[in-house]
Structure 1
Amino acid sequence: MPDTGHESSSTAGRMACAFCRRRKLKCNKELPKCQSCLKFGFDCEYVTPGTPGGMKKLEGERSSRVRQLESRLGRVEQLLRAKNQQQGQDSTALSSEAGAVKAESDEVSIDEVTATALEHIYFEFVHPAVNIIHPERYVQCRPPTYLQHAIYAVSAAITEEYSVHRERLYKSSRKLLQEAELQDRKLDSLSLAHAQSWILIAFYEILQGYFHRAWMSSSRAVRLVQMMKLHRIDAVLQTTDPSLVLLDAAKDLTEVEERRRIFWMTFLMDRYSCISMGWPTLIDERDIRTYLPVSNEAFANSVSEQRLFLSQAKSAQEPEHISTFACQVVLSSLCGNKLSELQRFDPNVPATQPLGNAWLKPQRLNDPLTTIFCVPQYLTSRPSQLNPASVFLDFFAAATTICVHRAAQSQVREDPVSAEMIAQSRKQCLEVSFGIFRLMEMTCHWDLRVFYLCFPFCLYNAVTVFASFWLEQQVDLYERPLRFLLKCIDSFKNMPLATILLADIEAEFPGLIDRLNSSVGQEGSSDTSQFSAPIQLQAMDNFSASGPSLDMGFTDDFGDIGNFDQLYGAETWDIDDSILSTMGALPPSNFDTWNNSLEKGPDL
């Protein structure tokens, strides 16, 4: 039996060890180490009350422990204080940076001299193409800031001198316009300036190559003009609920015409999206009861002119009273309708015509493959009245013709047609492409800013035609206009749109530029140059967009300008059928005839 009494007597006068006292643990007071110190591996020290200096030693240990804790707490406080200071500096920097960005976006301002110059550029060069603002009314009644910034942005986009301001002005216009719309919950303050701003913003986005943004912006303009009932300004019966009328009645003839122009420019933007991107149109022509726009001169001078509806202008064989603006509307309508029909075709969907007419299905593509859009004779380009408006109409008619033919040719596999029909289609595309080439030759000395904003797209369509022919047959008849038009597109390089179009050409015809340059090196031709040295389109001094002049001494290899009326008169100029031998559509003719056609150019 163990001697428990001896053990109890040996530990009876002993206090708990220092470790157990500090930790508030139960100490068994064993020697040389208690159970707790043995378990945790600490030195076990006993201090008895009777030991000299024992309590002082214990108090010293306590004070040392307190000092250690205070020191550790002090270091923790220092670390927390330093971290808080760093976070405060970061937050201050972020807030100051955000404030700077906000100030930059909110406080976009330009000096009065620059603003005046940009307004002059707009009304001199942009206004003839996007004629939706009356100049005198603009000066008399200053528009909202978002409309001003939209005007400035488009002007800066076509002028290298002020190009540094264009992106800031564009972003400011969008931001201010969206804020104005958000603040107007019930559309009580909806005005024409909203639609005008979205139209100009969409044009700017096209120039910068922001195509998806552009069509979203134009779609907003479409809904705005429809909400304001601008598509039914001249309807005989107004069945709209009066509580839904968002605009007051127009005060005078000028304001009515301005509303018409806003609607029709929105219509053009809607059709441009269909022509260039293949997207469905948003405006149904059956809902339109608004007269076509009158001439720019009548609008500027507040003069009344004879007016037509779109349906009337399209049904007329030779409309006698139609403006250049209205002619552009008609051409875009005709082209958009034909493209929409082609886009809706699905070979997997049964035809809607009766079974007895099923044999007519192969004729579906005959209409688009034989289409040529023409400009009324009194609006077409003439040497005596050559101006940007008439030149653009001829360009636009040719470009829309090419668009329809290319869209139809892409569906030949699903809906076969005869080889003669394809050959005739390509021949017509070549004819209108030569028209673009000759017109550009005679106007290449103009100031680039007078060319309407869609000129590069028209040039692009002609280049695709000449490129396809030249890749099949490397002859000067195709190579010369191809080089010239490529350099003309490159001359618009201050517009990102032109750069994108050149990239699209290179993607559609890989290696085209390299082959053109290598052909020059092989032939050593002196009358052609590398694509890397683009044509210089020189600006004319004191040039006016409303009345450009033409150097009557201009000549080229195909003859002088005096024969221009023979090319662009009432009859379309033709190309000899021997040229079709290069297409593979007709049997090759003898090379003597072919060489003769190269020497004299296209037969007229």
Structure 2
Amino acid sequence: MQTPEEVEPSTVPESLTSGRSRQKPACEECRRRKLRCDGQQPQCGVCKETGVVCEVNPVRAPRGPKRGYLKNLRNRVSMLESRFAAQSQNLGTNEAGLNSGDVLASPLAPIPNSIQGGNVDAVQDMFSMMDPAVSESEMTLTSPLLDLETLHNLNLIPEPPPTPSTTCLTASSIPICDFTQAELNQLYFDRVHPSIPILHQRRYHSWSKLHTKSAARLSLQYAMWTLASLLSGQFQHLQEGFYQEARQMLESSNPTNSVQGSALEIELAQAWVLIATYESMRTHHQHAWMSAGRAFRLVQLMKLHEIDSPTNPSSGADHDSVTTEEKRRVFWMAYFIDHLFSMKNNSPIRLNEHVICTRLPAQESDFQNGQSTVMDFLSDAIVDQNPTTRSPFNECIVLATICGRTLSHNQQYNIRCLHGDGEADWSDWDTWFDNILSARLQILSKCYPSPTTGYDPMLLFAHVIAQASVIYLCKEIKSMVWPNGKARSLRTEYQQRALNAAEHIVKLAYALVEFSVFKVHPLMPIPIFLCVEFLFANRQLPRAATLLRQLLDALSQLKSVINPKQNYVMLLDLTHIFPLLNTMDNQTAGAAMSQ
């Protein structure tokens, strides 16, 4: 049989030669990624999808191995196999083969490497571009002792040159190039940041361009892209890959016993907050609750609840005001999520307001401009009826705190009931709740623009939370036992106030329909679900039943960002309510006809 060196070019079949000549040249991007190029001009399909420049080199040198390479490689493989077999016999082992570590540790004689530093493409395409006179079956390596990893370890195949991390990142085998990264970053700050304002934009863009990033920063970046791709039309197919990459990096970045709280990177807490938000949006509620718990424990471990503590001034003495403000913001966002999730699940609050010595976040403009601003503590902001600084984020924090106090009071009341003290002490907090709620509602109406005109997702969310606070208070009051003479009057009064609040939420829900689906606050389903739950529980009241139908009508028009074919009725799993309402209508109509 003729060897590859003895085969003349004239022996190549004409059909194969003509087929190769008709094939369009592959672009540089497809060659680099080892993909089949469709040869479309001016941009092939792969380059068009990834958003890179499509370049074709018409004068590329012919690919394939030089004469003698295949024979040289076969001789080396044969020599290595014989040496491996001899080594196995000398050691008396019964294993089928040796791992790469044993091979490298064995005292083998140095093998001349004639292809060291050669063309990587030529070596890797050796078998696909072989001379046609050599059959494919003759070139198949059947020995179980060799694999491509062993050939790389023995320098028979040179490693490709390293590619800078900023050129192309991959998640789940999906290439993410510079242009796509930039677009995802912009999507995040346009659509996610207004609702979760925990990042300084210029600071992020500064470190995101570094060639080397810490695991915490990489996990934060993938968490940002997870939410950005979810809130986009063209990148939604990438969200699952980003999510898996972010979770995997976060799981592997768990702090060890030797890591002190001050040494932890703030990006870990920021990433867990974003992941918990994403899982809540995807209605993976148990995963969201567990991920949020990671964020809560991290902010506690880093002592972010005492940044401005007077007894520990060094904790807040960061020379970098931007870093300090980022710490404040991620703590308060974790605090906010904790209270919302606790309201939804009726579970104990984990970030207790009574031990917090961290000031409220500064205004967004001051934060992004790097201006240091001294804000109030939470306890002072709650009772301040004339705030000088207006921040929808801070209003959400105050309102969530009010709901948290209501929840804690009810849980403590249940404990007292176990000890035989079941009568509620209304005098302790009746006036306080009334005054605080009324003051916050007045502040929202007088100090801020209308939530339906500004299209500010945080401001609209603050208005919904304010009305949900009234409903939540009514829900807790109805579950308590009151002194004689107070029960009926209190329950009737707060039921009417809760129905008025539900009517406001219905109007805001219709306003949401006019919002872009990407502008709705990611946590909006939580207060809306509380309203639906209240109206459904009181559906025997004609006004509650009417409001429930109106709210469901608004939610049926509000599209879900997860799936445009679904609406919020499907997202919140409320479809079972319609048959019950229809049954009520039929019963009412039947009773009217019988009369």
Query: Structure 2 length as normaliser, TM-score?
Result: 0.60
Tell me how far apart the structure 2 counterparts of residues 368 and 404 of structure 1 sit (CA, whole Å). 12
What SS does structure 1 have at the residue aligned with 2:347?
Answer: coil
Taking the TM superposition and a 5 Å limit, the aligned residue runs for 1:412-561 are 418-467=487-536, 471-473=540-542, 478=547, 481-489=550-558, 491=560, 494=563, 498=568, 502-503=572-573, 505-506=574-575, 509=577, 511-512=579-580, 514=582
2:298 paired with 1:224: yes
Corresponding residue SS for 1:254: helix
Is 1:300 equivalent to 2:374 in the alignment?
no
Question: What's the CA shift for 1:210?
Answer: 1.9
- Deviation at 1:113? 3.6
TM alignment of 1:103-122, pairs within 5 A:
109-122=175-188
Which residue does 2:284 correspond to in 1?
Answer: 210
Q: How does 1:248-287 map to 2 (within 5 A)?
A: 250-287=318-355
**3-state secondary structure, aligned to 1:128:** coil
* Other structure's SS at 1:450 match: coil
Percent identity between matched residues is 24
Q: Deviations over 1:375-433 (max 9, x none)?
A: 42303626665533322211111123222322332445999952232221121111112
Maintained 8 Å contact 2:558/2:567: no
Corresponding residue pairs, total:
412
- The residue type paired with residue 465 of structure 2 is F
Unaligned runs of 5+ in 2: 1-95, 97-141, 150-168, 590-595
Change (3 A) 1:184 1:145: farther
Supply the distance in 2 between the matched residues of 1:211 and 1:391 (Cα, whole angstroms): 23
Structure 1 residues 497 and 306, CA gap change in structure 2 (3 angstroms): farther
Contact 1:118 1:156 in 2 (8 A): yes
- Determine which of 387, 394, 400 is the counterpart of 2:463: 394
Counterpart-to-counterpart distance in 2, 1:300 and 1:199: 20
**Structure 2 Cα separation of the partners of residues 424 and 219 of structure 1:** 37
The answer to whether residue 423 in structure 2 is matched with residue 350 in structure 1 is no
Q: After TM superposition, give the deviation of residue 336 of structure 1 in Å.
A: 0.6
Q: Deviations over 1:146-165 (max 9, x none)?
A: 11110011122233432222
Q: 1:421 to 1:286 in 2, by over 3 A?
A: closer
Pair 1:334-2:402 in alignment: yes
CA distance change for structure 1 residues 138 and 427 in 2, over 3 Å: closer, same or farther?
same
Gap regions ≥5 residues in structure 1? 1-83, 97-102, 353-357, 523-604
Residue matched to 2:200? 134
What amino acid is aligned across from residue 462 of structure 2 in structure 1?
Answer: L
Q: What is the letter of the counterpart of residue 524 of structure 2? A: F
Distance 1:446 1:145, change over 3 A: same
Question: Would the alpha carbon gap of residues 362 and 312 (structure 1) be closer, same or farther in structure 2, given more than 3 Å must change?
Answer: closer
Answering whether residue 378 of structure 2 is matched by residue 310 of structure 1, we say yes
Counterpart for residue 30 of structure 2: none
Alignment of 1:563-578 (within 5 A): none
Q: Is the 8 A contact 2:360 2:375 kept in 1?
A: yes
Retained in 2: the 8 A contact 1:146–1:174?
yes
Deviation of 1:111 (Å): 3.5
Do structure 1's residue 201 and structure 2's residue 275 form an aligned pair?
A: yes
Shift of 1:180: 2.7
Are the aligned partners of 2:556 and 2:569 in contact in 1 as well (CA < 8 Å)? no
- Between the two structures, name the one with larger relative contact order (CA 8 Å, sep ≥ 6): 1
Who wins on radius of gyration, i.e. which is larger?
A: 1
Residues 129-148 of structure 1, C-alpha deviation per residue, up to 9 Å, x if partnerless? 11111011111111622111
Specify the alignment match of 1:168 in structure 2.
241
After TM superposition, list the pairs within 5 Å mapping 1:151-162 onto structure 2.
Answer: 151-162=224-235
The code of the aligned residue for 1:408 comes to I
Q: TM-score, normalised by structure 1?
A: 0.59
Deviation for aligned residue 1:447: 0.7
Q: State the AA in 1 paired with 2:251.
A: Q
Quick one: structure 1 residues 398 and 289, their matched pair in 2 at CA, closer, same or farther if it must change by over 3 Å? same
> Per-residue CA shift, 1:173-222, capped at 9, x if unaligned?
01112223368953585211111111111111111122222222222212
C-alpha contact (below 8 Å) 1:108/1:172 kept by paired residues = no
CA distance in 2, matches of 1:419, 1:330: 30
